[in-house]
Amino acid sequence: MATRILFFGDHDMMGNLFSLYLRSKGYEVLHFPLPSTCALVSQNRCTCPRDHVCSDLILADMEMKGMTRLELIRHQNERGCHLPPRNKAVLALKFNAKQEQEIRELGCTTLKKPFRLLDLVKWVSECEQKIPADRKLTPHEELLGPAKEP
């Protein structure tokens, strides 16, 4: 089973580049332009069965309507997301000291743009080594429900 990556980011040139590059490396990438595609936002709870995760990694690269990328990660952690925080990364051009500290405290990674695509794949590969062999993914059809504006 391919490693699944949820990418929360605009369908702009860079977001599409990240998604296409990761797909070319064999990863299953689901690219969502709205935070409300995450059940933790739209339904205010994790909808994955207890022994499943929505993905193996999450990349959050956007300032979203009504929610920042950092707020998305915080919201996921507070609402019981089953994906370990170490497999989540926040992408941005710059972070202030408070944001970097909070992201570290949440157990996530920061990726400052611009970065080399090889660095992105390196981080993904490091995370893959920590994915349990018996992990179960929620079927992607269940992740593609109708998005609601927050």
Strands 67-68 and 63-64: antiparallel
What pLDDT, on a 0 to 100 scale, did the predictor assign at position 45? Answer: 60
What pLDDT, on a 0 to 100 scale, did the predictor assign at position 71? Answer: 83
CA–CA separation, 129 and 132 (whole Å): 8
CB atoms within 10 A of CB 81: 22
What pLDDT, on a 0 to 100 scale, did the predictor assign at position 120? Answer: 94
What pLDDT, on a 0 to 100 scale, did the predictor assign at position 37? Answer: 67
What pLDDT, on a 0 to 100 scale, did the predictor assign at position 147? Answer: 44
The reported pTM is 0.85
Largest CA distance in the chain: 38
Strands 88-92 and 4-9: unpaired
Query: Which residues of the chain carry a pLDDT beneath 50?
Result: 146-150
What pLDDT, on a 0 to 100 scale, did the predictor assign at position 148? Answer: 43
Strands 136-137 and 52-53: parallel
Retrieve residue 147's tokens. 């998005």
DSSP 134: T
Whether the Cβ atoms of residue 125 and residue 26 lie closer than 8 Å to each other: no
- The DSSP line for 19-79 is HHHHHHTT-EEEEESSGGGSHHHHTSS--S-TTEES-SEEEEE-EETTEEHHHHHHHHHHT
Q: Which domains does the chain have, with CATH numbers?
A: 4-139 (3.40.50.2300)
What pLDDT, on a 0 to 100 scale, did the predictor assign at position 39? Answer: 58
DSSP 139: P
Retrieve residue 69's tokens. 């990328």
